[in-house]
Amino acid sequence: DTVWQHYGLTAEQAREGGMNPQMFNSFLDGTKSAIEMAAIANATGLAVPSSGLHFPACGVDDLPHLLRPRAAGGMLERSGMVEVVSSLEREGRPVFRDLRWGVYAVFEAPNDYAAACFAQYGLRTDASGRYAAMYKPYHLIGLELNVSVLSVALRGEPTGRPRGFAGDVVAIAKRDLAAGEVLDGEGGYTVWGKLLPAQASLATGALPIGLAHHARLRRGIAEGEVVGWDDVDFAAAGSALQTAIAARREMERRFAAPRAAAGAA
């Protein structure tokens, strides 16, 4: 109900712009970031944090210092992981030189020559000079989308596609939920989406956030608890949602089978 004040907009301005408050709320509660990082992990093979995204407060100057492995002095569990930075400090103070509207990548020099190039070309690096960051202060989503659409339509070349199932976004209770309540999906009042390793999601039978719509709870769920497949009833779901559920369950069976075979061996 208060989403627009976080964007410096009035409700009237949002209506005139055709903006969906539930969608914009999913940006605030971390769901959209989780979905985007799952897409990146599944397309690139990057790993997913075991306990979800941390959203550390970080400006552009600190990217290579903070987003490096713990063994190197950073906060990542290991190298090759996805993460999202916050543009606000924990107490609400704006981060200096934040990336609220931007995108970035942090990478490690594979050899001394690359590290020397980082310095010669003026990249932001950590104290060792081995980790560097590149970033854009703006992310022109609507304009960039056309490139992907035309690439597929005219050349049959995707600008990104999944190569595996590394990350999943599961439904987490936003508050204590009572049996009988109906979930309202991303950006709603009932659940938010948390990024987890796909193996952890499958092992716990977690409900993906993308299907946490029009599902009635069979039991009460405490705030912060993962909502599972066994916790919901989709009897009232329409045909489109039932088709999506069937596709998801088939995907789960396919990805679970190789792990089961490996465990038996």
CATH label of the domain that carries residue 202: 3.90.1210.10
- Give the confidence band of 7 by pLDDT, cuts at 50, 70, 90: confident
Please state whether beta strands 232-233 and 103-108 pair in parallel, antiparallel, or not at all (unpaired).
unpaired
DSSP 226: B
Question: In this structure, is residue 35 part of a structural domain?
Answer: no
For residue 2, what pLDDT is reported? 87
For residue 129, what pLDDT is reported? 97
Q: Say yes or no: 111 and 173 in one domain.
A: no
Higher pLDDT, 237 or 163: 163
- Give the confidence band of 8 by pLDDT, cuts at 50, 70, 90: confident
Please, are residues 215 and 248 in contact by the beta-carbon 8 Å criterion?
A: no
Owner of token pair 């009897």: 235
- Give the confidence band of 260 by pLDDT, cuts at 50, 70, 90: low
Cα(176)–Cα(204) distance, integer angstroms: 20
Question: In this structure, is residue 106 part of a structural domain?
Answer: yes
Q: What percent of the chain has pLDDT over 90?
A: 84
168: exposed, middle or buried (C-beta count within 10 Å: 0-12, 13-18, 19+)? buried
For residue 249, what pLDDT is reported? 95
Closest CA to 133 of 89, 83, 179, 182: 83
1 pLDDT more than 80: no
192 pLDDT more than 60: yes
What is the CB neighbour count within 10 angstroms for residue 106? 23
- Give the confidence band of 57 by pLDDT, cuts at 50, 70, 90: very high
Question: In this structure, is residue 123 part of a structural domain?
Answer: yes
Taking only the tens place, the pLDDT of each residue in 26-40 is: 999 999 999 999 999
- Give the confidence band of 256 by pLDDT, cuts at 50, 70, 90: confident
Question: In this structure, is residue 38 part of a structural domain?
Answer: no
Number of domains in the chain: 2
Q: Say yes or no: 172 and 260 in one domain.
A: yes
Q: What is the mean pLDDT of residues 135-140?
A: 92
The pTM (predicted TM-score) of the whole model is 0.90
Q: Say yes or no: 104 and 68 in one domain.
A: yes
Owner of token pair 């980790």: 131
Higher pLDDT, 60 or 257: 60
- Nearest 10 degrees: CA dihedral of 64, 122, 137, 210? -40
17 pLDDT more than 90: no
What does pLDDT average to over the chain?
A: 93
Q: Say yes or no: 185 and 119 in one domain.
A: no
Cα(10)–Cα(3) distance, integer angstroms: 10
Please state whether beta strands 167-173 and 124-125 pair in parallel, antiparallel, or not at all (unpaired).
unpaired
- Give the confidence band of 6 by pLDDT, cuts at 50, 70, 90: confident
Q: What are phi and psi of 226, to 5 degrees?
A: -70, 135
DSSP 51: T
Q: Say yes or no: 109 and 183 in one domain.
A: no
Q: Determine the structural domain holding residue 53 and report its residue range.
A: 46-142
Q: Say yes or no: 107 and 181 in one domain.
A: no
Taking only the tens place, the pLDDT of each residue in 77-94 is: 999 999 999 999 999 999
Question: In this structure, is residue 83 part of a structural domain?
Answer: yes
